[in-house]
Structure 1
């Protein structure tokens, strides 16, 4: 595959250079907080989350609109739909996802994805005590804090290089904090996949042009409750810097109608130094690895690991910790049921424990 190695690394280098240049300019304006729009990096689909979020080179159904839109051209059925629900932090945060994709012709495909992550029924008790000093429960108001994203995807094959596919997302973002504030944003992602001799390569550039959120603050909601040390916020614009994910995977046939799929991803962020395995002010790199064992393309067992971070143990020594995951899946007559268990590393943090997250997704492909 020498004819492909040069284009992919040129694209990776050009995209990374664009992200760094844009990031440097944006950071001088102090508009680029770390982890901006982080709800879009939680991940979708039981298969992907069971494999440690290793999907950039593998995605080939409606979830490809999220992981790498180029993969929309690999779906096995004419129409494909996926639904997912997960709950984080012991059910406090609800994370929901829906996607649909279909081909336009033998060389192009489209898809749409909708993501919501939010916390509902938050109590606003600022008016709990009335003017006479008594508690008045009917004064409690409830609101939600939620983030929404709509991804519109397009993918196309390139006729001059067999196995090469390109894709792009246009995404609309809406973030809401009750009646206090809301934001609208827009961004663009671009991706490619290349298949050759059982090998699969993928490159995904998220927020490649940088993504902005324009916040609108309802100052009246803050009056009477803000202190001198906590002033009323004002309208502002928040920028999300590019991130790049480079992935490679390989499929194998094993005896007894068994198959194996092994893959790894390297995620590179450009919003400042992060607590990752490779960390610098310019770029931080988080490696991930995943494996999927299948039987007759009917039953699947999955595992993955990623999110390597250095933490300080109670002994005072620094230790590297990772986030492993497990998953199972069943595929029958176009119907796919995938379950994943993430955050398996349960550690004592004082009297509290980290809890696991169970992710359930349902997919269906039909003609």
Structure 2
């Protein structure tokens, strides 16, 4: 039974990774980064202006005053899957900036039981080995102000590396383009992800694949297809920060996350599906921050075929002192959506404090 379960899970990975055109290819790149943004339900396209703009909207890198670095860690599926992120960015001059980031989403120490039973039918636990499956996303970002006052743009070049032990691996490449505009303290943002589509090419290790085929006779006899395409997505954002006389502030931010196909999003047509997100950040003296947001609105089909609206509420907390900011977010508060909750921690550092 262990062997059959392993084969089923492994081929689920193959089929998830290796269809020709899939709506949800490279989906790990859509999880998000930075506990501050996640506490606001990822409503960050318009207001992002630090090192994490490498992910949310590269145009926001123009807001950097000095070099910054960021780290983040989150665990999913009862700590089985680990999600890690690191980024660095710095200004080039008053008109431009650059940055780079790396995301890893992986499951380690998976038991490989395909060789548990030898050719003589004897069970030998010494034949069990371990492998990892991991997805990597490396992003190189560049941002520049436009000659029109208040406008700026940014471009991401993405390199995707995906590995399933010794069984298969792939390389992928793609581009994002982002824009921001500010007028009368209102911030507008547009992020176009995978604008040229992101194309992944898989290399299947046929020797390892053949060893799996023999594990369950008569099943899984065909090699998975070796290419996949990630379709474009768009995010439209709006935000404004309100300053009060008692040294407090309130940042309100909203996103419209769009996919150009019919999904379970709350607003869905054959042309485009839209999932709104709304987030708030209450700050005191730019030192302590409380955050809340709601997003991931989905139409969920129940067991009795009735429909209900699922949503994901998030909360967060942050502290900032002398260029060091530590943030925490709890996602899917109360288990209101189909997504699993997670505790997320992130760190952001202004590197000027070391000079």
**Equivalent residue for 1:205?**
192
CA distance in structure 2 between the partners assigned to 1:163 and 1:246 by the alignment: 17
- Deviation track 1:231-264 (CA, whole Å, cap 9, x = no partner) reads 2325522111110000000111124211001011
**Equivalent residue for 2:267?**
278
Work out the number of aligned pairs and report it: 331
- Deviation track 1:201-255 (CA, whole Å, cap 9, x = no partner) reads 0000000011100111111112143254422325522111110000000111124
1:140 aligns with 2:128: yes
1:347 to partner: Cα distance: 6.6
**Equivalent residue for 1:24?**
none
1:171 aligns with 2:163: no
1:248 aligns with 2:238: yes
1:52 aligns with 2:41: yes
1:355 to partner: Cα distance: 5.0
1:222 aligns with 2:212: no
**Equivalent residue for 2:9?**
none
1:111 to partner: Cα distance: 0.1
Report SS of the residue matched to 1:130: coil
Distance 1:144 1:50, change over 3 A: same
1:189 to partner: Cα distance: 0.4
Confirm or deny: 8 A CA contact 2:141 2:154 kept in the other structure.
yes
Confirm or deny: 8 A CA contact 2:151 2:180 kept in the other structure.
yes
**Equivalent residue for 1:268?**
258
Confirm or deny: 8 A CA contact 1:85 1:94 kept in the other structure.
yes
1:131 to partner: Cα distance: 3.1
1:32 to partner: Cα distance: 1.7
**Equivalent residue for 1:192?**
179
CA distance in structure 2 between the partners assigned to 1:240 and 1:310 by the alignment: 23
Confirm or deny: 8 A CA contact 1:223 1:232 kept in the other structure.
no
Confirm or deny: 8 A CA contact 2:105 2:135 kept in the other structure.
yes
1:313 to partner: Cα distance: 3.7
Distance 1:130 1:310, change over 3 A: same
- Deviation track 1:273-311 (CA, whole Å, cap 9, x = no partner) reads 110011122211111110000000110000111111122
CA distance in structure 2 between the partners assigned to 1:258 and 1:315 by the alignment: 48
Q: Which residue of 145, 161, 169 corresponds with 1:157?
A: 145
Confirm or deny: 8 A CA contact 1:50 1:339 kept in the other structure.
yes
CA distance in structure 2 between the partners assigned to 1:117 and 1:126 by the alignment: 24
Q: Which residue of 107, 126, 129 corresponds with 2:114?
A: 126
- Deviation track 1:292-346 (CA, whole Å, cap 9, x = no partner) reads 0000011000011111112234565311110110000011100000000002233
1:80 to partner: Cα distance: 0.4
Q: Which residue of 229, 244, 251 corresponds with 1:239?
A: 229
**Equivalent residue for 1:21?**
none
CA distance in structure 1 between the partners assigned to 2:326 and 2:211 by the alignment: 51
CA distance in structure 2 between the partners assigned to 1:224 and 1:112 by the alignment: 39
RMSD: 1.7
**Equivalent residue for 1:308?**
297
CA distance in structure 2 between the partners assigned to 1:224 and 1:339 by the alignment: 44
- Deviation track 1:132-169 (CA, whole Å, cap 9, x = no partner) reads 4332111011111100011000000113x222111000
1:74 to partner: Cα distance: 0.6
Report SS of the residue matched to 2:61: helix
**Equivalent residue for 1:356?**
341
Distance 1:324 1:366, change over 3 A: same
CA distance in structure 2 between the partners assigned to 1:107 and 1:348 by the alignment: 42
- Deviation track 1:100-151 (CA, whole Å, cap 9, x = no partner) reads 0001111000000000001111111011122343321110111111000110
Q: Which residue of 153, 167, 174 corresponds with 1:180?
A: 167
* 5+ residue gaps, structure 2: 1-18
Confirm or deny: 8 A CA contact 2:114 2:211 kept in the other structure.
no
